[in-house]
A and B are shown apart, each in its own frame.
Chain A
Amino acid sequence: MRQKTHRSSLARRNLQKLFSNRLAILGGVIVLALVLLSIFAPLLTPYDPAFIDPTQRLQPPSAEHLLGTDNAGRDLWARILYGGRLSITIGLVSSLSAAALGVIAGCISGYFGGKVDAVLLYISEIFSTFPQTILILIIVGFAGRSTLNMVLIFSITGWMGTHRIVRSRIISLREEAFVESCVACGIGSSSIMFRHLLPNTVGPVVVSITLSTAGYVLSESGLSFIGLGVPPEVPTWGNIINAAKSLDIMQNHPALWLAPGVAIALFVLGVNFLGDGLRDVFDTTQ
């Protein structure tokens, strides 16, 4: 109860700061709208995104099919709505799990220092040298195309950034005077670690999570587009573009690639605006 009232004044200040940043608000609204559209997809379209209707191939936009249909006769509007579900989820889950790995590794690195830190740094450097695409080729070769594999690969190749952020934050925070005054108050080291050091790293980590979400949505689209990502029957924004890559469709049915492209661009742009706004808000030193 009390805890809530404590936070409220800081939360209010932060919200005010966020709301005064118009670009961040715009980004937030775009992201929120796309997320809501995806969540409420079944209410917004009567079609099943995977339902193939050969009689309705490549229909132009109409009242019946808002954005028309693709070359298998599937409703494009439905596919984009349902595709958003998976694209956004992949982006978010990947960046969250990558951040979780990075935070754990960063805490260990920063807190213990010395050899442990050196080993973790070497490991993270080794991981940074692997191009994601090659790793995905390997894993797809072994385990086949699947959403889970994609998330796994994004997490294990994406934790290094957070690792470095958290590590350097903790190393500098460890020397702060407030840590010493906590020790002088008899507070234990695990409590200092998790109650005092970790929350101080939350700002940059949240920012990096938002920004990397956008990055993973893009990567997913890219990989799906070249046919290495999610299986083609599953609708994601990348797969929808992939389905539209024949010359005939590019020239004669622009809605088929324009619509998912705009969805991706809007989402990535919105998330980046939001991330920039959050970066300003979380800067506690201001």
Chain B
Amino acid sequence: MQQDIVLQVENLKTQFKVGRKLVRAVNGVSFQLRKGTTLGIVGESGCGKSVTAHSIMQLLPKNGFIAEGTVRYTGPDGQERVLSGYKRSSKQMRAVRGKDIAMIFQDPMSSLDPVYSIGSQIAENLRQHEKISEKEARTRIIKMLSDLDIPIPEKRYDEYPYQFSGGMKQRVMIAMAMICNPNILIADEPTTALDVTIQAQILALMKRLQEEYGTSIILITHNMGIVAESCDDVAVMYMGHIVEYGSIDQIFSSPMHPYTQGLLKAVPVLGIGKDNKLGSIRGSTPDASEVFAGCEFEPRCDHCCEKCRTAPPPDRELPDGHRVRCWLYAGGEDDAAK
């Protein structure tokens, strides 16, 4: 069982210095990524999901830093590496980026350098990590492009980003990320900038590649539909905490945290009927620099009690692996307020 874990994040805390203020973007996040599975990280804007991903890759902006916690990566050779121990621009970290852990970004439109052909950009990544000739690289890249359903890949190889549409560019980005056959693919809202039909295609593609190469995926999104479609495990984040963590069944069929419940109520369903109102969560996300004595969700929560205001809720793990961070489930009183 332990063998299967490719990435282990423990008590990760990432902070930003903004002027004199210290913004705590991620406050002790722990999760595991199992080989060949997809972990979805959901949450609204500013909840720290992207920062978590950037912390793993050490791609934080200059004023951001990992204050505490470890990120452990286990490669296919079985060797464990502590990524959080590497300096951000060190050789070891650069060797991991692109080769072991690859990343796809939200905006494919500007993620490619306009002055190089897409083939040469993918080749740059490939040849950065593998010593192969230009010719071999070309053959491999063309194969990858055709795997990604890009028509006439031999011709497209030499074309420039402006000649590609958004969906095609995202395919190119996926090709770039997958060309070194990474163990982990971090997709930071890969479909947000695309329209819905293309979204489905891209997600299906990622799924297919995952099955083909056995890649583990961390999928960051704010779209519950995407999570339901493509994830095995889900972590729901709020204000830099994972408030609920479990398998897709656990989260969708028996959500425990009031925030998760609220999110699921807010998902529009086709044919919902005129009279059924979509659920919403009252209030808005507090500023990330605010410091709470108790639970961060307390001001917006319908189930809050005195305890929620005074002390941070404990992280409780149920026997089936379902984890929730809420006073409602802090032992004793079972699912009382559900």
Contacts and interface: CB of A to CB of B under 8 A. Distances in A.
A284 B95 contact: no
Given A185-B125, A186-B129, A187-B128, A200 B158 contact: no
Contact of A187 (B57, B114, B125): B125
Given A178-B110, A178-B112, A185 B176 contact: yes
Nearest to B123: A2
Interface string A171-203: 000001110111111111100000110011010
Contact of B105 (A9, A181, A285): A181
Chain A, interface size: which category? 20 to 34
A184 B162 contact: no
Contact of A200 (B59, B102, B111, B114): B114
Nearest to B94: A186
B19 to A, nearest CB: 16
Contact of B98 (A2, A185, A200): A185
B264 interface: no
B111 A284 contact: no
B87 to A, nearest CB: 13
A284 B162 contact: yes
Contacts of B229: none
Contact of A177 (B95, B98, B110): B110
Nearest to A173: B113
A2 B125 contact: no
B99 A178 contact: no
A115 interface: no
B51 to A, nearest CB: 14
Contact of A184 (B59, B95, B114, B159): B59
A284 B125 contact: no
A16 to B, nearest CB: 14
A195 B128 CA distance: 13
A186 B128 contact: yes
Contact of A185 (B116, B128, B162): B128
Nearest to B53: A184
B94 A180 contact: no
B30 interface: no
A184 B113 contact: no
B152 interface: no
Contacts of A183: 59, 97
A182 B43 CA distance: 27
Contact of A181 (B96, B116, B135, B173): B173
A10 interface: yes
B115 A200 contact: yes
A180 B124 contact: no
A196 B110 CA distance: 13
B59 A180 contact: yes
Interface in B158-173: 158-160, 162, 173
A251 B124 CA distance: 67
A246 interface: no
Contact of A6 (B57, B111, B158): B158
B249 to A, nearest CB: 32
A25 B253 CA distance: 69
Contacts of B107: 177
Interface string A1-18: 011011001100000000
Given A6-B120, A177-B105, A186 B96 contact: yes
B89 interface: yes
Given A9-B158, A10-B160, A178 B98 contact: no
B117 A199 contact: no
B115 A199 contact: yes
27 contacts: A2-B134, A6-B158, A177-B105, A177-B107, A178-B111, A181-B111, A183-B59, A184-B57, A184-B98, A185-B97, A185-B125, A185-B128, A186-B94, A186-B96, A186-B97, A186-B98, A186-B125, A186-B128, A186-B129, A187-B124, A187-B125, A188-B89, A188-B94, A196-B116, A200-B113, A284-B162, A285-B114
